[in-house]
Structure 1
């Protein structure tokens, strides 16, 4: 990496104060200026830390002022390795999930298991943003490593679908939180004009790991079993991720010793601290929105399991109570919350709001057409586990590869709106719309691949552009919050998309299966519906396999139509953005990319 990519901005004498509930002896240190990057000695400067920023922001600015360029380069290499391992593990997990649910004869609950985990995994970013801003970046990062590892351990030991669903919650909280914390590290250590490329650089391991996840999952399925797949990464993940924690923590301690940051006791008792953080993290608001969204969305994939369907008392009660909790959340945040869960001023900014809406819409669309795509490739196209993983991961390869080009274009032009409006949105609509026709039985797989390539290149463009939009619209102080809000919209959008996909699947697939199956096979309908292994056990050309494929095709067409229709909102959301020029803004301090 060329040294011209790095800039050095020195802090002023103002020392950020970090409250510590567990320390009684405040470290006294004199206020100093910047840091000589060769030997770490202090030098005078007039550059201030971000004004009125919270302790976590000032703390990371102290870190970037205390470390050297060599440490910055090493940190980015380590971040790339973490993304490599995590993306490989995620690819394997996604491939194994249909077989895990099928092992409990609950294949149709694929969408259901992802709804709660998507909601919680997305909403956790907002309280995590508070942790990163109040306690510090390393502390929040460590918490997510623990959650991710615990989720992997639970998936390795699960014996029923309920345990696996709970494990998915811990896993996605940890995985999304870890990725989010890494994104904040990148935002903290890069100039805005270079940030799009650095985000693309960090996600580039997906280009390689796409080819590994499928064969790795296949090897575990044919060998020791899926439990060992999860168990092995429960050991590998902390081993790879913890070194980055120690880098940030040791450099933070170095900044303390150099007088760039110091701790002072908060003066609160334990109970006062509990009350303080309950208000700061808006725990009541978090409970309202998590419970409300879960109760409102879950019935869409669970109604078919009730004898009365939509008329079931349980389904009606879940929808009503969930809706009331969502309304209660809005009222609480607007009128009663001492500290709001979502900063109102940020959310009404048209660039931030437009980017968040785009994020939610893209994930709704993606999860509608993608929820049963892998199963479609296995059953209808007859691909192997490895081949299906290759096709299913075209999006990961293409989006991450094209994101590098987008990052360069944003660095050169200084603008991002034109890329989203004139390329990203139209090509996404084209790719998803074409799948309505091409994702059917007896259609050459090449046409499906073509659609995936269109969606991948456009998706890589839109993800980078929406992230740049929310960050360019605010200061460094609120970067963690706006990225968390954007991520929350994405995860809630994913939950909504999964709920819609689950509703279409459970409402269409079994009905069409019963309609198409020969009379002799109707007795086996529950087993065919619930197990992908039973579906693939019928040979191609048999009446049963033709009926299964036809039912898949009809359900997939309904999903792709719904997925395309929702993308109309994406056009309006991008048009809302201000045409900001990223080279006009300066957010970060210290030695950064």
Structure 2
């Protein structure tokens, strides 16, 4: 019934959505830096990152389950709505708290759109073509990497960061129209063909309490809430406290951490193992070495990246002396390289049909990248910048081999009916890694940078070192405008950045070595022309189990 051109229309719609949010992603982090600096809170960049990571980790499995229950279109509508609201709140925020609230809604939307694109690709491709197709939403980085810098520079030279964030409240929703049209047309054609006759839409029972009770169990709402509490209570205190002994002695730091470890985490595990009828985390599936290894790799990918990436924009402007355009482009250069490598890799995988050693190679390139980044972490000589770029390129090569190959391996390990859920869990693992990486980077930065600044300013003979260090730490972008390269104060701050970046990149190197070791545990299945291998649980086993669960539910 559905012809080849229908799939082309679908993929064009996914590409347009990806291009719009890709351009937003290429500029949003730049604008976020200036927004937080405008509130005199530059050190809190990592805290916002942690909060966004927690939201993404908790919402990805939720979106996956909701897309199975209410349909792909419903989740897309929800995401687009929150995208507009979240960007509008950030663009009009008067404090870092209001900006963070908008960032939470923005992250909900960003997560929903990405996971729907990934699920649609998994729904319509075979394992053999999955890696290549999964790179489709990333291909806009080939353009946005270079365009994003010019856009960011123009906006900051003109209307400012508020306008830069706010405009995407219109651009991204408008770009989703072709994808909406494609999905709606497909649903109409399926109804006319009678394919949906035996499926009762939940919207017809929206006023029924039974429907909402069923939704509670099917989507594991309590599990999602508990997961959010676990991540929030454990990760946020680490970021806010850093390594400050004084802050760690406060009850406001200790109590949330204790509640997270002693109460929330055990409650989440118990609920998922004993209470949930359709668990958010299916422990039977996670018992597989293949699935568990893929999840750990996903966590480590982003933990590793964010240890060096969280403060990379500040480092480029302060420690390398680059302008907004260059810094914005360099922040995305690893993504640019990863797309080129990933697409070529996708074509190769269609032929060789094996993935494990590509994943191992990707982890190896990331290790090499961090070796370079530990060495080249600042300086105004061209050799310093070239060394840094080489490290980012190596990161891009590693990312080209690693993430989507690992995603394909975990999708191959379960029956197709679990594809949405396992994809949600896998992407949630990325977000957990993001939160962990932000937490580690924030703890190192907040605890060590002010001390290094003050000490180096004193060593360079700069008077009033405490006040200068405070100003440079709170809003480095304003500070460097009046302290050009070559002045004693600038040299002292540059040295501080290099010292702290060494801590960050050294930590990332340790995580990347661990990731390399984990990749060796992966199996190396032959990728077939089916949607999944169902290694851990076949579709027949799943149907039988689902029937048994429904029988228990009715009883």
TM over 0.5: yes
TM-superposed deviation, 1:195: 1.4
2:391 equivalent to 1:456: no
| Equivalent pair of 1:535/1:545 in contact (CA under 8 Å) | no
Pick aligned residue for 1:344 from 283, 288, 303: 283
3-state DSSP class of the match of 1:582? coil
2:354 equivalent to 1:415: yes
In 2, Cα distance between equivalents of 1:307 and 1:326: 25
| Equivalent pair of 2:306/2:438 in contact (CA under 8 Å) | yes
TM-superposed deviation, 1:338: 2.8
2:471 equivalent to 1:527: yes
Unaligned runs of 5+ in 1: 1-34, 36-66, 589-593
Most deviating of 258-267 and 516-525: 258-267
How many residues in Structure 1 have an aligned counterpart in Structure 2?
522
RMSD (Å), alpha carbons: 1.8
3-state DSSP class of the match of 1:519? coil
The change in CA–CA distance for 1:191 and 1:550 in structure 2 (over 3 A counts) is same
The change in CA–CA distance for 1:462 and 1:265 in structure 2 (over 3 A counts) is closer
TM-superposed deviation, 1:366: 0.4
TM-superposed deviation, 1:306: 7.8
TM-superposed deviation, 1:350: 1.5
The change in CA–CA distance for 1:494 and 1:390 in structure 2 (over 3 A counts) is same
In structure 1, the residue matched to 2:304 is 365
2:323 equivalent to 1:387: no
In 1, Cα distance between equivalents of 2:117 and 2:531: 20
In structure 1, the residue matched to 2:543 is none
| Equivalent pair of 2:132/2:345 in contact (CA under 8 Å) | yes
Alignment of 1:160-309 (within 5 A): 160-262=95-197, 263-264=199-200, 270-303=208-241, 308-309=246-247
**Deviation per residue, 1:93-112 (Å, 9 max, x gap):** 01111101001011110000
| Equivalent pair of 2:298/2:430 in contact (CA under 8 Å) | yes
2:291 equivalent to 1:334: no
3-state DSSP class of the match of 2:322? coil
Pick aligned residue for 1:502 from 426, 442, 447: 442
| Equivalent pair of 1:192/1:472 in contact (CA under 8 Å) | yes
**Deviation per residue, 1:272-311 (Å, 9 max, x gap):** 2222212222222211111221121112221269892211
The change in CA–CA distance for 1:492 and 1:586 in structure 2 (over 3 A counts) is closer
TM-superposed deviation, 1:521: 3.2
| Equivalent pair of 1:472/1:585 in contact (CA under 8 Å) | no
3-state DSSP class of the match of 2:400? helix
Pick aligned residue for 2:11 from 65, 76, 79: 76
3-state DSSP class of the match of 2:125? coil
In structure 2, the residue matched to 1:29 is none
Give the helix-richer structure, 1 or 2.
Answer: 2
TM-superposed deviation, 1:265: 7.0
In 1, Cα distance between equivalents of 2:201 and 2:69: 14
| Equivalent pair of 2:320/2:378 in contact (CA under 8 Å) | no
In structure 1, the residue matched to 2:486 is 541
Unaligned runs of 5+ in 2: 534-555
**Deviation per residue, 1:62-109 (Å, 9 max, x gap):** xxxxx3222221221221122111101111101111101001011110
The change in CA–CA distance for 1:82 and 1:283 in structure 2 (over 3 A counts) is same
| Equivalent pair of 1:306/1:312 in contact (CA under 8 Å) | no
In 2, Cα distance between equivalents of 1:222 and 1:352: 48
3-state DSSP class of the match of 2:379? coil
In structure 2, the residue matched to 1:581 is 526
In structure 1, the residue matched to 2:38 is 103
| Equivalent pair of 1:148/1:174 in contact (CA under 8 Å) | yes
3-state DSSP class of the match of 2:523? coil
In 1, Cα distance between equivalents of 2:44 and 2:116: 30
In structure 2, the residue matched to 1:480 is 420
Alignment of 1:23-62 (within 5 A): 35=1
| Equivalent pair of 2:26/2:144 in contact (CA under 8 Å) | yes
| Equivalent pair of 2:379/2:385 in contact (CA under 8 Å) | no
In 2, Cα distance between equivalents of 1:454 and 1:245: 37
| Equivalent pair of 2:242/2:442 in contact (CA under 8 Å) | no
TM-score when scaled to structure 1?
Answer: 0.85
